[in-house]
Amino acid sequence: MPCELKEKKRTGVINPIFTCQPAGAQYASIGIKDCIAIVHGGQGCVMFVRLWFSQHYKESFELASSSVHEDGAVFGAVQRVEQAVDVLLMRYPYVKVVPIISTCSTEVIGDDIDGVVNKLNEGLLKEKYADRDIHLIPIHTPSFKGSHVSGYNVAVEAIIKHFAKNDKKDKKLNLLTGWQNPGDVKTLKHLLAEMDVDANVIFDIEEFDAPLMPDGNHVAHGSTTIDDLENTGSAIGTIALNNYEVGKAAHYLEETFDIPTKIGPAPIGIRNTDTFLQNIKELTGKSIPESLVKERGIALDAITDVAHMFLADKRVAIYGHPDLVIGLAEFCLDLEMKPVLLLLGDDNTTYTEEPRIKELQNNVDYDMEIIMNADLWELGDRLQNKGLKLDLILGHSKGRFIAMDSNVPLVRVGFPIFDRAGFYRQPIVGYEGAMILAERMANAWFTDMEYTKNKEWLLSMW
Amino acid sequence: MDMTLDSKKDTLMDYIMKNCLWQFNSRAWDRELQNENIIKKATQLLCHESPEKSTPADRCYWAEAKQLVDEWQCFPWLSKMTATDTKCMMGKLKNDLDSQLITNSLNEELNDPNY
Amino acid sequence: MPYHEFECSKCIPERIKHAVDKTPAENLSDALPLGYLNTIPGTLSERGCAYCGAKHVIGTPMKDVIHLSHGPIGCTYDTWQTKRYISDNDNFQLKYTFASDMKEKHIVFGAEKVLKDNIIEAFKAFPHIKRMSIYQTCASALIGDDIKAVAQEVMEEMPDVDIFICNSPGFAGPSQSGGHHKINIAWVNDKVGQVEPKITSDYVINYVGEYNIQGDQEVMQDYFKRMGIQVLSTFTGNGSYDDLRAMHRAHLNVLECARSAEYICNELRKRYGIPRMDIDGCGFGPLASSLRKIGLFFGIEDRAEAIIEEETKRWKPELDWYAARLQGKKVCLWPGGSKLWHWAHVIHEEMGLEVVSVYTKFGHQGDMEKGISRCEAGALAIDDPNELEGLEAMYKLKPDLIITGKRPGEVAKKIRVPYLNAHAYHNGPYKGFEGWVRFARDIYNAVYSPIHKLAFVDISKDAISTDKNFVTRQMLSDKDIDPAVVNSKELHEYTGEFDSIKKLRNKEYPKFPQKGKLTAV
């Protein structure tokens, strides 16, 4: 079979693609309005994740630490959580939602964050904060399991479980977006608006692209409210994009509240966007309007200009979040490109059962490798030592040195992108995103042609 | 108005606190050695005596002292002082350093027995 | 010096002893902020962990080393590509990071076997690298893996490799400073004295507490080489593992960041009698004093003088161009540790900036002593600041500029205070004479950014001036300064290259014949 799915052979990781679970839980938390999560662990587990978000967005997001020090590691540190909750609530009067996120250290020492939440609910919150609507949500994200992707999945489920109610009047369509950028959320909202669908977007992170306002606004934050989260249990349907990111929450809503659910691909590429619209149509009964036919047409027209002339047969490697990598690979195939190496960077063992991967395995007509539990050295080693030839790499900024040292243009897609300006604003989903992606790849290739003098004259007549 | 010995001493103290780093070693015993040796050698230089600099430690104290005294040429009154006055002033200066940085210091790490 | 009470921290009274307003009449023995104490949970403190202090700050700038973290993936990922410590060996330490990728089964059954496999794999992947540092993390510390024993086993099987172990889990101390301490002591205990270096000069130093941010180390090393001084090792920026094993053979430890590296200088002084000389690599005056002191120590002060004269002549007119335009601008100097005292006095003296506040994320009281001594009266000094206190201070002090870390810089930006990166620099290096001009240039560019000024206009309320289609920095900076300065033929803007380091690599240096061992050293 030309398409081989296998695990990385080495035990360790050289240049990781992913970070750990608590980081994913933190990403979910910042999507909620009036929310500051407390990460129960060492301070680095928060400081670096805040830095990570700020590298990508050039914004600051609020996240707190329980600051576990030596004594806590030895004797247990749940009292640090109690203190952290109190200090946080005293100093941030607007805060309503406080996820308590565990880490490797506090899971190993066995701190009972569920117990401490119960204790605080019965004690501190009743005694001192009775006039405030406070939600403490324990989220278990030991760093030695999964990755930030599974951490996000776990956190979204925990948050939805905490809030979802089936007796709300507002009947909307749930859209669980998965790990997206503000530009993507804006595009998803646009598609829903064109379909005339009133959707509950979880999480609405459009405001992560925060303005610089004359009156000062010191942090960026998501806009999803408690009301929105409660409404998820009363929705007319759920569309969950990215199974590995929001699959758990979608299943929970489906099983608990009997909400019709479509767990589908993120609308990456024309075909996946068609599927997305079809799913909306099925769940809402709305029809696809002429405006989207036109929008699709504009994208097809633009993509046609670059596809078979330039992108055809270009060999690419793709790394990042599993749903993203698969979606990009699918789109590349539609563009006549050859994704030859897909890197899925965590220890998830269910990829072997993934129908979209099976589709690739059944239909790809050239040699393709899909590596599970991969790191970026799987890419670097092949390029530098094993003779792998690539025309493009698709992935996030952490792969920049491997790409540069191998002289292969890196088209930035995914999270984090800290070495290009404003990419969080540019969608990669929807028809617009498909067009942007195809053009971004073509332009990267064009620049490379020019600076490596590789038929650079070709573009003089295009 | 002529400066008093104390105001001269204060001027030099301010200079050290603002510009030097040698007085800020992390432990009391090191601060004592630094203050004592560097001020002693600076005093000797100001009084045209020859400081001891045969060991690496002495040479380092001397280099700090020599540099300091060279920079103090910006205070023209200093070279006009008698040796007795200079020694008296420098003695007070050392007391101030010891007081602010050792004996009355609020730095709670000064007496930690380990580095 | 009264302690400063923040409105936002009235509900946590223990914070009051962490901030002080500097007054003219009092001194350090009247008030000094507490420091290096456990963080109050939930404050949104800006501190990191002891693992990052050891691995990320001090360990990883070592350039010819595989840096492997024994733990789950996050610690490694998070401390990778978040700093700018370059090296002259093609940045191996920036490009590659290694993790043992500890999983649940390892937590239960131990991860020593997986660690051993990891070490061997890593050396196999990069056969030209023969040195490794292994960093403990919270998880591997808590399960009690004996990393040293594993490393010993590998070293016996692979005699050409050497491995250093740093046991500094994230929770080991109130901040990253705990990790600085642990790695200093581990290095001097385990590695110093193992290699006998080739001595090529009569004047041999270790350059300590210098991390080659954007090339700082290479700038300073250039001066040392021009003086004929052998830089035996640098702890640790652009530093070589084996050079650092030979630290015991230097005549002098030249110490830059005392916060992160005074421990090893103190130990080397105690154990090997090597004197410790604290220096400032930043600012024309302090740098000149520092080079002179080193020159004096070795009896080569004339060589220092020649460099100072040449560099000052070359760069002073450019520094002064900026200084003339920065007078009286208010700055919050809010770095991590040592920049607080390296910069507090000299940005005032040489650029005319008013330091209205200093803070330190992970400094100790000793850093505050230095910082408070060096800044002017009126400044607010804060230990272990948190986000609300930082905002309160900025609203109160209305600085023109904040010099701080990347993420807090984003907070400042939103309330329209431009920021410069204190840790990684904007367009450094900032050390050396040229570097200091680059710093002044970056400050000027931030303070007089026309776009930044537009952020103060509320187009819905304020009058919109339609008379200008653009504004330049100089239209803003020159309108209130002496025309003689504006028209000066002598002063001019920075004329160096975008990359000021490249020219230093492979540079030829004058030969100073060795005379033999100095009597004094």
* pLDDT tens column, C306-330: 999 999 999 999 999 999 999 999 9
Residue identified by tokens 């007496």 is: B111
Residue in A220, A287, A249 with CA at minimum distance from that of residue A162: A249
**Residue-averaged pLDDT of chain B:** 96
> How many beta carbons lie within 10 A of that of residue B80, not counting itself?
8
Beta bridge partners of C421: C404
pLDDT, position C1: 67
Assess if residue C389 is contained within a domain. no
- The residue among A239, A269, A288 that closes a domain is A288
Domain containing C269 — which CATH number? 3.40.50.1980
Same domain, C144 and C81: yes
pLDDT of B2 > 90? The answer is no
Tokens of C122: 């890593």
Cα distances from C91 to residues A329, A381, A401, C243, C511, in angstroms, run: 32, 17, 10, 18, 28
Q: Given A47, A73, A81, which is nearest C171 (Cβ)?
A: A73
Find the CB nearest C365 among B104, B109, B115. Answer: B109
Whether C46 contacts chain A with CB within 8 A: yes
The DSSP result for A27-95, as a single string, is: HHHTTBTTB-EEEES-THHHHHHHHHHHHHHSS---EEE----HHHHHH--HHHHHHHHHHHHHH-TT-
Cross-chain residue pair A38–C41, CB shorter than 8 Å: yes
Test mutation, C10, C43, C138, C404, chain A, max A CBs within 10 A: C138
Give yes or no for a contact between B42 and B93, defined as CB atoms under 8 angstroms apart. Answer: no
Tell the residue number behind the tokens 């646009």, with chain if given.
A190
C394 has a pLDDT exceeding 70: yes
Contact A12 C118 (CB under 8 A): yes
Cross-strand pairs, C204:
C230
**Are C54 and C128 members of one domain?**
yes
With respect to residue A159, please indicate whether it lies within any of the assigned structural domains.
no
Q: How many CB pairs under 8 A join B and C?
A: 101
Kindly report, residue by residue over B66-108, the tens digit of the pLDDT. Answer: 999 999 999 999 999 999 999 999 999 999 999 999 999 999 9
Q: Are residues A269 and A323 in the same domain?
A: no
C496 is a domain residue: no
Asked if residue A162 is part of any domain, the answer here is: no
B55 in contact with chain C, both atoms CB, cutoff 8 A: yes
**Got the DSSP string for C62-117?**
-SSSEEEEES-HHHHHHTSSSS-B--SSTTHHHH--EE----HHHHHH-SHHHHHH
Q: Are residues C183 and C130 in the same domain?
A: yes
C-alpha distances in Å from residue B4, one per residue of B18, B44, B86: 21, 21, 12
**Residue C478's CB: how many other CB atoms inside 10 A?**
17
Mutate to test the interface with C, among B59, B68, B69, B93 (most CBs of C within 10 A): B59
For residue A65, the distance in angstroms to the closest alpha carbon of chain C comes to 6
| C-beta of residue B90 within 8 angstroms of C-beta of residue B41 | no
Q: How far apart are CA C212 and CA C256, in angstroms?
A: 11
Does C328 map to a domain? no
Where along chain B do its domains lie?
Answer: 5-99
CA nearest to A377, candidates C96, B95, C123: C96
Asked if residue C244 and residue C179 are part of one domain, the reply reads no
Q: Is the pTM of this model over 0.95?
A: yes
Q: Residue C91's closest chain A neighbor by CA?
A: A401
Residues C153 and C69 in one domain: yes
SS3 C372: helix
Q: Is residue A302 part of a domain?
A: yes
Is A315 in contact with A391 (CB distance < 8 Å)?
Answer: yes
Domain stops at, among A269, A288, A307: A288
Contact between chains at A144 and C41 (C-beta distance less than 8 A)? no
Do C57 and C185 belong to one domain?
yes
pLDDT band at C520 (very low <50, low <70, confident <90, very high): very low
Among C134, C157, C190, the domain-final residue is C190
Residue of A49, A87, A109, A385 to mutate when probing chain C, most C C-beta within 10 A: A87
| Interface touch C78/A347, C-beta < 8 Å | no
Answer yes or no: is C451 within a domain. no
Task: State how far the Cα of B13 lies from the Cα of C129, in Å rounded to an integer.
Answer: 51
- Confidence check: pLDDT of C441 > 80: yes
B106:C341 CB<8 A: no
Same domain assignment for residues A444 and A313: yes
| Closest alpha carbon within chain C to B14 | C373
What pLDDT digit, counting tens, does each position of C336-373 carry? 888 999 999 999 999 999 999 999 999 999 999 999 99
In a shared domain, residues C55 and C186: yes
Of A23, A109, A212, the CB nearest to C74: A23
Is residue A58 domain-shared with residue A189, that is, in the same domain?
Answer: no
pLDDT digits (tens, 9 = 90+) for A408-460: 999 999 999 999 999 999 999 999 999 999 999 999 999 999 999 999 999 99
**Pick from C76, C74, C35, C78: nearest CA to C336:** C35
Question: What is d(CA B72, CA B60) in angstroms, rounded to the nearest whole number?
Answer: 18
C279 and A CB contact within 8 Å: no
Which residues of chain C neighbour B59 with C-beta distances below 8 Å?
A: 275, 297, 520-521
- Give the pLDDT confidence of C175-184 residue by residue, as tens digits: 999 999 999 9
Q: Which residue matches tokens 């103190």?
A: C266
Domain extent, residue A110, equals 21-146
Closest chain A CA to residue C119? A12
The one-letter amino acid at C200: T
> Any chain C CB within 8 A of the CB of A223?
no
pLDDT < 70 stretches in chain A? 1
Chains A and C touch (3+ CB pairs under 8 A): yes
Does some domain include residue C411? no
Residues of C in contact with B64 (CB under 8 A): 277, 293
Enclosing domain of residue C125: 50-190
Instruction: Look at residues A146, A162, A183 and tell me which one is the last residue of a structural domain.
Output: A146
Residue A284: asked if its preceding bond is cis (omega within 30°), the reply is no
Q: What is the 3-state secondary structure (H, E, C) of C226-280?
A: HCCCEEEEEEECCCCHHHHCCHHHCCEEEECCHHHHHHHHHHHHHHHCCCEEECC
Q: Which of A43, A218, A381 sits opposite C414 (nearest CB)?
A: A218
DSSP conformational letter for A373: T
Domain count, chain A: 3
What distance in Å separates the CA atoms of residue C354 and residue C324, rounded to the nearest whole number? 14
Residue A105: which of C139, C387, C458 has the nearest Cβ? Answer: C139
Q: What is the pLDDT of residue C430?
A: 97
- Does some domain include residue A154? no
Q: Is the pLDDT of residue C282 over 50?
A: yes
Q: Which of B62, B71, B105 sits opposite C289 (nearest CB)?
A: B71
Total number of domains in chain C: 2
pLDDT value at position B1? 58
Q: Are residues A233 and A307 in the same domain?
A: no
State whether C123 and C225 are in the same domain.
no
For residue C190, give the 3-state DSSP assignment: helix
pLDDT at A215: 83
- Contact state of C29 with B21 under an 8 Å Cβ cutoff: no
Q: Where does a domain end: C311, C346, C368?
A: C311
Question: Which of residues C296, C311, C326 is at a domain's end?
Answer: C311
Residues C185 and C56 in one domain: yes
* pLDDT in the model for residue A74: 86
Q: What is the CATH number of the domain that holds A218?
A: 3.40.50.1980
Are C237 and C298 in the same domain? Answer: yes
User: Do C164 and C272 share a structural domain?
Assistant: no
| Residue A430 is assigned to a structural domain of this protein | yes
Residues C174 and C54 in one domain: yes
ipTM of the prediction:
0.97
Residue C165 forms beta bridges with which residues?
A: C134
Average pLDDT value for residue range C121-129: 97
Task: Decide if C410 touches A, using CB distance below 8 A.
Answer: yes
- The one-letter amino acid code at C247 reads M
Band of the pLDDT at C518, cuts 50, 70, 90?
low
Same domain as A453, residue A310: yes
Q: Measure in Å the smallest separation between the Cα of C335 and chain B Cα atoms.
A: 18
C5 touches chain A (CB under 8 A): no
